[in-house]
Amino acid sequence: LGLLDANFSLLMMTLLHTVLALVLSWTGLSSVLYIFSTGLFTVVALWTARLLLRHAWYTHKLSCFSKPQTRSWLLGHLGKMQSTEEGLQRVDDLVQTYKHSCCWFLGPFYHLVRLFHPDYVKPLLMAPVLIEHRKYRKELFLQTLFFLSGNSVLISNGEVWSRKRRLLTPAFHFDILKSYIAVFNSSAKTMHDKWCRLVAEGKTNLEMFDHVTLMTLDSLLKCAFSYDSNCQQSSSEYVSAIVELSDLIIERREKNILHHWDWIYWKTRQGERFKQALNTVHRFTRDVVEKRRTLLNQQRETEAQSEIAPTAQKRKDFVDILLLTKDEDGQGLTDEEMQAEANTFMFAGHDTTASAICWTLYNLARHEHYQEKCRQEVMDLIEGRDGQEIQWEDLSNLPFTTMCIKESLRLHSPVQAVTRSYTQDMVLPGNRTVPAGTICLVSIYGTHHNPTVWTNPHEYDPQRFDPSNKKSQTSHAFIPFSSGPRNCIGQKFAMVELRVVVALTLLRFRLTPGVNPELGSSRVRRLPQLVLRAEGGLWLQLEPLNTPT
């Protein structure tokens, strides 16, 4: 079939070439155009032949993996991956049918192996970063993020990645996270006060993502830049640009396939809006980094010239830590590198954490007995205190709330999949081999909903994460933050914010499922985009509780 398709393409090229030659001869155009057209068609024919031969090679090499039914040998599974509720149900069907993995072809262009079992996921996620393929990360799923964040730790590979990862690690140390607790308490209180005002006005049915996303954005701006944006009350140019970029990324990926080519996209109206918003974000980050570096240099000069001991410093934010950190050679990050990492922290952090908080509140709203048990746990913890604030020491004393959060991360993971590609063949169980250069789509959703791994995987059951059950849990069965050397560097930050916000929300409100105005019911249809959202929003009914503030 591969040879037939290749020969057919070459035949078509030859026919087109002949027709063009006749047209040129009839119109009397110069032989230069004829020569040019001959060369052009030759190049196109060779490129087509190479593409089809490459497709045939991958089809043969991946024959050790089961292959779901395709549209045709050439088109493969093109168009069968959908970012909808039905698309997630299709993943459930794949997992139910193929148990651990299958191959997947997006036309003759991309050749994937989809994996959704811990035994198959683990060897890939635990592989050394040095054998990861460098080029594809900027060409496929992370292409747009490259423009947003530059060559950050999210995109880079090899030694560049290793150096950046080492330099960034201190920014997520427990001692640094402790100082962020006050920020999380403050941002959550601002959101809850706004909810109380809305409920007093009779608006008890609220869409969670709108409010929680602004709250996590508020927290991140304070933690990253010490910038009080007041974005939960009123917008700003920077915050508006962040929100617009998030929307445009979804539009670009899903609405028009031609927009995947940069030279086309930048000429569209959406591309112009993307550039303008991107310039706003980059300008803000650049100004913060430059001003903070200047201030740091001035402080060092003052301390060097003065015999007086340095005064107590303010809480260090993300940019401060990046400015102070050095590698083994005494070299720090350049301004450009710091801007890339700060932008990544903002983009990768606010949406994912917001999604995790929203789905946790949704799951607790649907299971009143678990909600009440969490609420009682928090009330017992703060009993006798003057105010309602979660302290660092409290986090380890919220075992059941943490179990509920983890089960929500399993059932509704913010990120549905991660991709990997390697410069060498990767051996998997069952004598299966992933050829070098193949894209490995590690399905977090599929692994978390695999019935051979989890009993009743579509049910919400926090007892799965009872510490007494941990020994029976398969390694890499639970990977909401990925795993291995490229796991999410901000996962501890996210878990701290999750526990603080969920605990404080349950103290002030009783939650029940709301009504989605678009659907006219409380039914929820999942919407996997950059993070897992819900069609028409995620709506909950809020009932304020008579607890002291």
**Tens-place pLDDT, residues 407-434:** 999 999 999 999 888 889 999 999 999 9
Distance in angstroms (rounded) separating the CA atoms of residues 404 and 498: 11
Contacts of 375 by beta carbon, 8 Å cutoff, 6+ apart = 506, 507
Range from 111-120, 346-355, 371-380, 397-406 carrying the lowest mean pLDDT: 346-355
Distance in angstroms (rounded) separating the CA atoms of residues 218 and 220: 6
Q: How far is CA 21 from the centre of its chain?
A: 51
User: Is a pLDDT exceeding 60 seen at residue 184?
Assistant: yes
**DSSP code, position 83:** S
- More confidently predicted of 155 and 326: 326
Provide the pLDDT confidence category of residue 549 given band limits of 50, 70 and 90: very low
CB atoms closer than 10 angstroms to residue 183: 21
Write the CATH number of the domain with boundaries 119-304+314-544: 1.10.630.10
- More confidently predicted of 298 and 377: 377
Most confident of 28-42, 174-188, 314-328, 337-351: 174-188
Q: Is 488 annotated as a binding residue?
A: yes
CA proximity to 529, closest of 440, 444, 448, 415: 415
- More confidently predicted of 170 and 101: 101
Distance in angstroms (rounded) separating the CA atoms of residues 263 and 271: 10
The strand pairing partners of 205, in sequence order, are 541
CA dist list (Å): 307 to 294, 301, 303, 310, 312:
21, 12, 7, 9, 15
432 touches 62 (CB < 8 A): no
Residue-level pLDDT at 226: 83
Distance in angstroms (rounded) separating the CA atoms of residues 409 and 443: 14
Distance in angstroms (rounded) separating the CA atoms of residues 184 and 222: 9
- The DSSP bridge pattern shows strands 110-115 and 439-443 to be parallel
Q: What is the mean pLDDT of residues 386-394?
A: 89
Task: Dump the DSSP string for 384-399.
Answer: T-SS----GGGGGG-H
Q: What is the mean pLDDT of the chain?
A: 83
User: Is a pLDDT exceeding 90 seen at residue 101?
Assistant: yes
Provide the pLDDT confidence category of residue 15 given band limits of 50, 70 and 90: low
Please tell me whether residue 180 adopts helix, strand or coil conformation: helix
For residue range 282-293, list pLDDT tens digits in order: 888 888 888 888
Range from 145-149, 245-249, 375-379 carrying the lowest mean pLDDT: 145-149
Which residue type sits at 400?
A: F
For residue range 33-49, list pLDDT tens digits in order: 555 566 666 777 787 88
What pTM was estimated for this model as a whole? 0.86
User: Is a pLDDT exceeding 90 seen at residue 372?
Assistant: yes
User: Is a pLDDT exceeding 60 seen at residue 368?
Assistant: yes
Most confident of 28-37, 220-229, 395-404, 478-487: 395-404
Residue-level pLDDT at 510: 97
User: Is a pLDDT exceeding 50 seen at residue 2?
Assistant: no
**DSSP code, position 428:** E
- More confidently predicted of 526 and 153: 526
Please tell me whether residue 70 adopts helix, strand or coil conformation: coil
Residue-level pLDDT at 92: 97
